[in-house]
Amino acid sequence: MDSKNFKVGDKVWFWERWPERPVFGTIEKIYITGSKLWAELNYDNGRPAGRFFDYLFETKEDLLEFKKKNKSKI
């Protein structure tokens, strides 16, 4: 899935910074901040989060592959 095609209600994967782990969430709201798309998420433990679309992934495998190649970006 191209990140530009994510929509409200989609399940996505992203990296949680503390503790360091992959998590999934559901997109609750999408808006533009500056020139980037931002998603407000409700994720697997019920807490809200927010991430730029650049760091949202369709599958856990896609997220882990990106993390492996771009350790400093997430």
Which residue pairs from 44-50 have beta carbons closer than 8 angstroms and sit at least 24 positions apart in sequence?
Answer: 49/14, 49/16, 49/25
Q: Is residue 35 part of a domain?
A: yes
pLDDT of 4 over the 80 cut: no
pTM: 0.80
- Domains: count for the chain: 1
Residue 74 lies in a domain: no
Q: Which residue has the higher pLDDT, 4 or 19?
A: 19
Whether the per-residue pLDDT at 35 is higher than 60: the answer is yes
Coil, strand, or helix at residue 7?
Answer: coil
Distances (CA, A) of 4 to 17, 46, 68: 23, 25, 22
Q: Residue 59: inside a domain, yes or no?
A: yes
pLDDT reported for residue 14:
92
Does some domain include residue 14?
A: yes
